[in-house]
Amino acid sequence: MILESITNKVRSTIAGRLNSAISGAVKSSVSSLTGAAKEGATSALGSIAKGGKYGTTILTYPTNVDSDSQQGHYIVFDVREFTAGKIEHVNSKKDFSKLESQVEDFEFVIPKDVLSGGTKGRKSILAEKPTVRTGTVISLYMPPSLSVSYNVTYADQEIGTLAGMGQAAIAAFQKNDGDLTSNLTAAASAIKPGAKEGLTNFINTTLDTLAPGARALQQINSGKVITPRMEMMFEGVGRRSFSYKFDFIPKSAQEAKSIERIIYAFKENMMPEYTGESRREMKIPNTFDIRYMYQGKDNKFINKISSCFLKDMEVTYGGDRFTAYDPIDGSPPPQRSSISLSFTEIETLSKDLIKEGY
């Protein structure tokens, strides 16, 4: 009797545990299919999204994009907005000490090197403006390939004959190690070979201004043409642009809702907003910090990206033909949708930023 009682108790315990496990698995599956599963993120994305001004909203596609052991690669778009420091009015124009202490205590202080005119390699005033995280973080799967272009602009600049003569004289003067008389003699000697050419070109240009065609006539009569001297000159650095395309095919109601919110978040944050009743003044749109991730950490083998504006966005619903799932909350989500995004960096690059991995 005692043995039978113990056996029945063991069987009852095992059956109870099995029923509990099966019930939990069924509930989990049902929640995932109906969209009742809580939207959130694993510890990897949760740590990235901390510190949002309005709480944390983490949008992912696929749902397990940051925890898929078979993939591990994904892109994070962290949305930020510009903010301005509120500094108390200083009554005395000469009382700068009070103002300075307020600036130092402000959480988002403009770096002192910016206030003094330097930027430590960062050449954009807009890029130095303080920002805060909105709390919206979008995490999407890694596209098949990533590309980045580095652009430096050069252009031909004409060096006039007289300017070239002056450069030769200065170089000869500086190169000579003698006294003042010998230095001036060296400078004069450097000018002589091109003096006639320089004078002729100067006269022709002047005459051509007064009597159009005089320069061409002189060159025809002499049988010689003075060609311009061109030099390749550095002009500036172009901003980098980044383009991505993502295809969405929801596997559950939860993913369908998440896709809708992802598309809305990109659209909303790329646009400005009116700041007054006159509807004339608009606030600068939010920016995006883009990070290439692998299993919760930045992938250091891929270039970093500075803060960007989202300049272009294209949304496509459907594929070869439009199809939709059963309605959710009265509206049927499309079985397929896609977005194309084009971002442009706010600041231009320099050697210092390249050394930092940009």
45-82 confidence digits (pLDDT tens) = 555 555 555 567 889 999 888 777 777 899 999 999 99
Report pLDDT digits (tens) over 193-216: 555 555 566 556 666 676 677 777
pTM score of the predicted model: 0.64
pLDDT band at 160 (very low <50, low <70, confident <90, very high): low
Q: Are 172 and 190 in contact (CB under 8 A)?
A: yes
The alpha helices in 80-224, defined as continuous H runs, are 96-105, 112-115, 125-128, 161-175, 180-210, 214-222
Q: Give the residue with greater pLDDT, 284 vs 180.
A: 284
Q: Are 27 and 106 in contact (CB under 8 A)?
A: no
Report pLDDT digits (tens) over 126-155: 777 888 888 899 999 999 999 999 999 998
Q: Where are the domains of the chain?
A: 1-34, 39-83+130-151+238-355, 154-236
Question: Side chain identity at 84, as an amino acid letter?
Answer: A
